[in-house]
Amino acid sequence: MISLVNVNKYYQNDEERLHVLKNINLAIAPGEMIAIMGPSGSGKSTLINLLGFIDKQFEGQYLFEGKVLLTSSDEILSKIRNQTVGFVFQNFSLIENNTVFENVELPLLYNGYKFHQTKEKVMAVLKKVGLSDKADKHLKQLSGGQQQRVAIARALINQPKFLIADEPTGALDSHTSEEIMKLFVDLNTQDQVTIILVTHNPDMVPYCSRLISIRDGEIIEDKALRP
């Protein structure tokens, strides 16, 4: 599904040219659930921004479903992004003053759906994350774990080809973190959602099917964990 070929990424800081991704070769198949680990500053965010069509300033090739992305305009790129990737963040990035329903509905409205066309889709995805009874609650009435479920529902609403989760359990206690990882595993094994997640927590790794470790911009380890 995804293939990076000889990818290099540089940042220009004042005098200095930082080489932040070094000759990355990476193939990701549909149905994988990948953990990316590495120390702070090793290039994890840079890599997922690239994978998620946020960053197009790099050297080398990004093939998505066999096609080279001709990243001509930001407009085209953001359209591809909306149709292809769901994002989940450490701090949920939800709208605090809106209801659960409104938060999950928003990406549908962005993609051109009308208000009366959204209910079925929103309720289906809320069911999937175990929040059927919370649709009309305001976000503030929910626990951290429930808020992250809302964020996951929002990420899934446009039926993306894959999910990128940036430290999705970073703000959660260990029990809640495990619940969220089990939800990811369900989505991965039952619904065949491809998941790429960055984590600092080694306890989250065994839930994944593959571990990629990065250090100083290089992949230093890439191994299968579960079939």
Residue 13 interacting with ligand ADP (CB under 6 A):
yes
Whose Cβ is closer to ligand ADP: residue 10's or residue 113's? 10
Whose Cβ is closer to ligand ADP: residue 40's or residue 192's? 40
**Binders of ligand ADP in range 121-150 (CB under 6 A):** none
Q: What is the spatial distance between Cα 50 and Cα 197, in angstroms, rounded to a whole number? A: 14
Q: Residue 126: count other Cβ atoms within 10 Å of its Cβ.
A: 22
DSSP 2-35: EEEEEEEEEEEETTEEEEEEEEEEEEE-TT-EEE
Pairing status of strand 2-13 against strand 59-64: antiparallel
Question: Residue 9 burial by CB count (10 A; 0-12/13-18/19+): exposed, middle or buried?
Answer: buried
Q: What is the spatial distance between Cα 85 and Cα 160, in angstroms, rounded to a whole number? A: 5
Whose Cβ is closer to ligand ADP: residue 42's or residue 146's? 42
Q: How far is the CB of 13 from ligand ADP (least distance, A)?
A: 5
Whose Cβ is closer to ligand ADP: residue 13's or residue 192's? 13
Q: How far is the CB of 208 from ligand ADP (least distance, A)?
A: 17
Q: How far is the CB of 54 from ligand ADP (least distance, A)?
A: 9
**Nearest CA among 26, 46, 60, 55 for reference residue 220:** 26
Q: How far is the CB of 7 from ligand ADP (least distance, A)?
A: 13
Relative orientation angle of helices 100-110 and 144-156, to the nearest 10 degrees: 20
Whose Cβ is closer to ligand ADP: residue 20's or residue 181's? 20
Q: How many residues bind ligand ADP (CB under 6 A)?
A: 12
Can you list the positions of beta strands (E) in the chain? 2-13, 16-28, 33-37, 59-64, 67-68, 85-89, 162-166, 194-198, 210-215, 218-224
Q: What is the spatial distance between Cα 127 and Cα 136, in angstroms, rounded to a whole number? A: 13
**Binders of ligand ADP in range 17-46 (CB under 6 A):** 18, 20, 38, 40-46
Whose Cβ is closer to ligand ADP: residue 56's or residue 137's? 56
Q: How far is the CB of 49 from ligand ADP (least distance, A)?
A: 7
Q: How far is the CB of 141 from ligand ADP (least distance, A)?
A: 28
- Contact code string over 40-79 relative to ligand ADP, x by CB under 6 A: xxxxxxx---------------------------------
Task: Kindly list the residues in this chain that would bind ligand ADP in the complex (CB under 6 A).
Answer: 11, 13, 18, 20, 38, 40-46
